[in-house]
Structure 1
Amino acid sequence: MKRAPVLLTLALLLAACTPGTPPTPSAQTVPLGTATTGTASQAFSGTWEVDTASLPAWLTVSPLSGSGPMALKFTADRAQGTPATADQPQLSAAVTVSWKQGGQSGKTTFTVTADQYTLTGRVVDAARIQGSDVGGAKSPSPAGQVPEARGVIVKYRSAAAQAVALGRAVSAASLSTAAQATTRQTVDRLNVPRAARDDLGGRTVHLETDDVAGALAALRADPNVEYAVPNAVLHGQQVSGQALAAPVVPTDQYAGLQWAYRLLGYGAVWRDMEAGGYTRPVTVAVVDTGVRFDHPDLQGALYGPDEGALDVLGFRPATDTHPYDNGDGDGPDTDPTDPNTPTRTGGSHGTHVTGIIAARWGEMPRFPGCEACSTSGVVGAAYKAPVKVLPIRVIDAADNAEVADVVNAVRYAAGLDITLEGKTYHNPHPAQVINLSLGGDVGTDTARPMCEAVADATHAGALVVVAAGNGYGSVPYYPAACEGAVAVGAVTLSGSSAPSHAGYSNSYPQVMLAAPGGVDINRGPTYFNGAKLNGEPYPDQIFSTDWNYAKNQPMYQSYAGTSQAAPQVSALAALLLSKGVTQGRDDTLARLVATATDLGTPGRDEDFGYGLINAAAALGAPAVSDTLGLRVQGSRGRVFQPALDALGRFTAYLPDDTFQVIGGRDRNGNGLVGEANEPRAEKEVTLGPAQPRADLGDLTPTP
């Protein structure tokens, strides 16, 4: 009797150790439908862990591990999985869970599906018929004038009246004798032979006559006529009735890699430049590492050592209490050459920035001793405009710049005298535009001297353009965040209807404009530009002039960053001044803002500022294309390009977001429709679980 409790306890222990049923290899399907979250559970008594490598970017799972029953929550961020073409109705992922139970182990799979939200509509081109008297006017045009026409088109109130007009006999029952007489007399007065009377069907007749005005008057007086209109001559439509201009496509060896110019509409701008008008000299100060004056692709584009170029950096020998070697072995002087040093292997940042603005076009002498060097290279935005770069060296060979040096450089660039080591320097070519592709997270207080220098330069009339920073975050960088500075964020190609925010580009309230900066290839290259270099796809970076310090010879290189975006804005500002579209700092900035292409959240936002600069619109360049298209952009910066069928209809499968849907025309050849100075129609729609489907109806672009 005393052993019974022991036996019972043993039985309970054995039951507790008995393994449960292992999960099946394919556990279950989890359809989220149009919801953002869903759950799945499975009875189990072992341990388990979600294989995170099996998770796509659009799907998160929690918890990622546990013991006992599997109870998983799935959350879909559809924006991470929606292709740019927006043509995938459903997202699907197989989530693998590894498990152990007793001496057993294995894997099971949860298949998670998420339906996309559906947007439909149609882009319809506005009717563009020439002629003021087309479409059923009830009386002749003033003074009997009619548009260019070949006869008239008349619709009769009855088939019998139509037959009489065509010269056919009809019965009295179908049309009264008086009515027949009236119609015959009208046609007879027009002196239209039977051979010149065409049956268009539906009681409609085409009558050939040279006296279109007289015919309209007579026919509209006939009670048997429903309407009479000119057989107007329509014409193939170009923009404003004019032939399109041909975009200028540079032939320099590497120009095909410079996709940023295409995105900004420079093919149209350069065509505009060929017609003249860009006659006012403009100076752009590039405050940077200095420049390689010996780069053949920059010859004629720079102010040299005797023309205002300046190196503001000091020098203290190793024997000094606080030694400092800026790389060139001397102190401030008028030679801002970006120097070589024994350990230097990187390129010349200032040379790269300068080439974006002002690299020369066409053939050039080969660099001595370099048989592999290009004899045409790249092109700069300035082309034929009299825009020159004033190099000011403020970044040393170790890629560092001090606040005090930046202050001196900005003031000097704007034409304000500065004193360096007891010597006063005067700039003979004050810059209308100052480019600073530099900055850092130094805080508001530390940045005060730089912000005061920006204010001084602004007061002197200079537009100070600054890179917003490559910090991958939201911290304001200075001097970009200084009041009066134009902070420039970066975009990169998205493979869709508009570029997207570059992930490295800092986002904060002071960001004012965006420009092409390219993709960070270290976090995954993209190749949407379609070009090739040495037979390989060329990544979406910014290609420009550079210097090979290992070989001490010119080269060309691609970089990405807000450092590359800022000079795009500086170049456009200089061209506005050169053409005379604007006269000074304030109206130049206003023009840049007014013509920018709004991306992301409508209005100014922290990613794009007021939007992507638009060179063609800002400069009033001629149209080089006239293509109808669609642009769909979400408030979070994602852009999509659903296909249009032959009738302009589209069906887009999209994530949850608020979208600006723009139907429009592309007239500057950059692939973006409905920009400034282009016809557009826009509607806003919010898609999500509360509204999984929406039909926008027709979008009819108008000027």
Structure 2
Amino acid sequence: MRPTYLRTRFLLVLLPLLSLLACDPSVTEVEATSIEVAPLYLSFDGTSEATLSVTANGSWTLTSDASWLKVSQSSGRGGSSTVRVTVDRSGLPAQQHAGRLKLSGSGRSVTVHVSMRFPHVTGTVVDPTDEIKPGSLPRADALQGASPSVSEAMPPDVVPGEYLVLLDDGMALALEASASGPVPLGARPHLTTLRAMGAGVARDHGLRLASDVLSSGLPVVKVHATEAEVERLRADGRVALVEPNRRWLLPQVEAVNAAHDFGLQWHYDHIDLGSAWALTQGDPDVVVAVIDGGFATRHPDLSANLLPGYHFERDDPDPEALDACVEHGTHVAGTVAATLNAAFGVSGAAPGVKVLPLSVGYETLDGATLVCALDSYAVISAVEYAAGESVAGLPPIAPVDVINMSLGGYGTNTTFEMAVRRAIDAGVSVVAAAGNDGFTNVVSIPAAFDGVVAVAATDSQGKRASYSNAGKAVDIAAPGGDKANGVLSLGWDLAQDEGTWLRMAGTSMATPHVSAVVALMRSMNPELDPASVTAILHASARDLGAPGRDDLYGWGMLDAGKAVEYARNSLGVTYRDVVVRLSQGGTLVAEAHAGVTGRFDLGPVPAGTYLLEAGTDLDGNGQISDPGERYASTTVAVAYAGDLAQDLQLSLR
């Protein structure tokens, strides 16, 4: 009995002591040998607050190497904790900054990389007098106002399990920084850094990269992922955006073999091409990039006007594709710049310019039908390359004058829109087909993107083609033909392996008429920017339908003669003449010229209340608010809650 009695008394004494020790904060917990933190990368893109989830098997400490980087607790104990991370920008220069957080235990530490920037002030300058015209009508979302039946009938198609991941370039700059502190203004991360970051994102999330980084200006990678993995990607500070890799089918239009004679190209009479040719048939220094499924580059009526191109779907320097993709691209390129010669008779609308053939298609089955499919990653790659970026290891070229895209789909595609915007900002006019589904309030992308010239189609009688989409984004109409009388251009006979001539109908056929005329305009006046080109197309169009602009024809039928004449005589103010300023208490904080479509970005600025002004300085005296100048101003409040967008409407003072 005695041993049992002693054990009982011992336990009665020991248990209260253990309880006291457990409650005593002076007792040190064993340092953690395992620490897990999520996310490992934090991006504060104009914002100020985020959280970290910490799981450890013991005590840990948390330190920051940047005075502006604050945490809600500097240490923790075993188990799970949530740490609030905030940014204090007081006294910092308004630019990109890099910092690091370090969690430490026993022989174990974890680093969290932090990228922080000040909010940007952005917007668009608009001139309601139309003396300076914007690059396009106000943006119309591809499905805005569409009936449910339209949305259900045309769901956005995607490549199963493939996603486009836009890397955060601010985080890349932070990773390049050797220590915490400000990053040089205007810096662009090195491609090697972006590649390493993309590989790290894939490795950390257990994903397989399906592409290299697209370009340093648009750092997109393609990955294979599940929906659950995509959600984790979106929480990663190295990732700015994740969206599906879209898939589109080239428009399936009936091709009819036809006699080849210039006199049979009735569609050129509809746009008064002869008057344009009296001024120019095109300058060989002017380049139209045709982004399409594929091309018969050996066609005798086309080869002399082709520059060395690329096949972005196959990653091949030879853009030729003698498969289901060949007819569409060859026909479109032929309408732009088939050579004018007596031997074959058919001509492009701008036979003196050059075509850069950029193939993006691949042959696949749609049910039992062999079709040409396009993935958005390949199309985006082609747009970037045509805009002067180094893509797929290719050396960069000078930006082309015009991009023709007789292709498209429905839904949203942010990375595609970013690529198109970058091309327009580089001075490239982008022309795209409105779509062939006969919708009255839906325009396909990229035609619906801001700044793109959206082309509707007319039939052989000069009326709206029954298949042509209509909507608020439509800029202009051009001949697309109909089943009875299609547009005559080039084709390729796969069975005979020889060039042929085809009639095809669609907005795909209307679009290269506009691209060719834009090339003629640029031949007459190389200084034209995309906004000026669009303004001239609007002003010179022959009105169709309801008086003035309407959703069926835009501003009317393309008039090549007037457009080229207006281009020759075009002198005046462009959006690049507009100065945008941000000031506070009479002190200038930021200044920039508007871009070719009126867009501006004044860069990072501290939180506060500012005067935002835009105006011309035609007399060169440094004042943008003089009488006789175009001017606009407003007060804006910048907060650390992200970027601020504010448009300005100019008026004559």
Pair in the same fold by TM > 0.5: no
TM range (shorter): 0.3 to 0.5
Q: If you compute each CA radius of gyration, which structure gives the higher value, 1 or 2?
A: 1
